[in-house]
């Protein structure tokens, strides 16, 4: 898949990894369409990147996703790649006297059902292209979770599994299925994360990830070196040690 010549839709492309990916891919020559829930940050992204186009979209809304898929394919018939980047990560207290399941439900609706619904809606259009791609964004936490964000880790593990199944089911089509699994990256996904000294600088992550994504042979997984200890934790027998690093007693 030559992403430099693609028309790419990135959900959550108005901030963090999504915006940085959009800007890096646009710099290579791709046409970028971004979505987000925040009109202000969408406008700021477009002001800084005049060649992009944007739509307000809440990927957790089934009706909004259906309407959006119809609109974007009608207005951009050349669309041939989608990067499912939109996501939320919220700390949950499972020991609270009253557990608020709204966090878990919103996380599942955004991080898991959003990509499934949007892919389902876009799949007939993507299958009509001679070359297309569905890119999911999971996380190193899909493989070794952070215990105080249990639903986030669960959705990312599910996205990893779903990506594997989707790749197999689409093996005889023109659609590549690629999973990007970021490590801890310095963004505003959670409070204080952008200043966390343990986080990989965003620019470094994007540079390495886009280089891997743009390889001559399209990868099934985009894994920067920083995420490999998590990705291989089970296989290497290091799961307990890495889990302890992420979740100190």
Give CA–CA dist 107/127, Å, rounded.
29
63, exposed or middle or buried, with CB in 10 Å at 0-12, 13-18, 19+? exposed
CA nearest to 78, candidates 28, 117, 31, 112: 31
Give the C-alpha separation, 169 to 175, whole Å.
Answer: 10
Task: Decide if 41 contacts 148 (C-beta within 8 A).
Answer: no
Reduce the DSSP state of residue 162 to 3 states and report it. Answer: helix
* Given 152, 163, 167, 210, the catalytic residue: 152
Please check whether residue 229 is in contact with residue 242, taking contact to mean a CB–CB distance below 8 angstroms: yes
Show the tokens assigned to 116. Answer: 């499934």
Q: Which two tokens stand for residue 114?
A: 């959003």
152 is catalytic: yes
- Known catalytic residues are 152
């Amino acid at each position: 898949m030559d992403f430099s010549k693609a028309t790419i839709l990135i959900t959550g492309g108005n901030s963090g990894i999504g915006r940085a990916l959009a800007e890096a891919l646009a710099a290579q020559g791709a046409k970028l369409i971004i979505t987000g829930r925040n009109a202000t940050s969408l406008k700021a992204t477009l002001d800084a990147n005049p060649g992009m186009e944007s739509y307000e979209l809440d990927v957790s809304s089934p009706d909004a996703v259906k309407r959006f898929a119809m609109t974007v394919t009608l207005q951009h018939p050349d669309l041939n790649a989608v990067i499912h980047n939109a996501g939320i990560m919220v700390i949950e207290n499972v020991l609270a006297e009253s557990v608020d399941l709204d966090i878990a439900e919103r996380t599942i609706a955004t991080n898991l059902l959003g990509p499934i619904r949007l892919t389902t809606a876009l799949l007939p259009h993507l299958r009509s292209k001679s070359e297309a791609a569905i890119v999911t964004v999971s996380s190193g936490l899909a493989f070794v979770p952070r215990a105080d964000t249990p639903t986030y880790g669960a959705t990312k593990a599910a996205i990893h599994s779903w990506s594997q199944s989707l790749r197999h089911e689409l093996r005889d089509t023109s659609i590549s299925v690629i999973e990007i699994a970021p490590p801890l990256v310095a963004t505003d996904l959670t409070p204080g994360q952008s200043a966390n000294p343990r986080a990989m600088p965003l620019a470094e992550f994007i540079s390495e990830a886009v280089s891997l994504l743009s390889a001559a042979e399209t990868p099934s997984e985009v894994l920067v070196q920083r995420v490999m200890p998590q990705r291989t934790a089970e296989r290497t027998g290091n799961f307990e040690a890495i889990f302890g690093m992420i979740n100190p007693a």
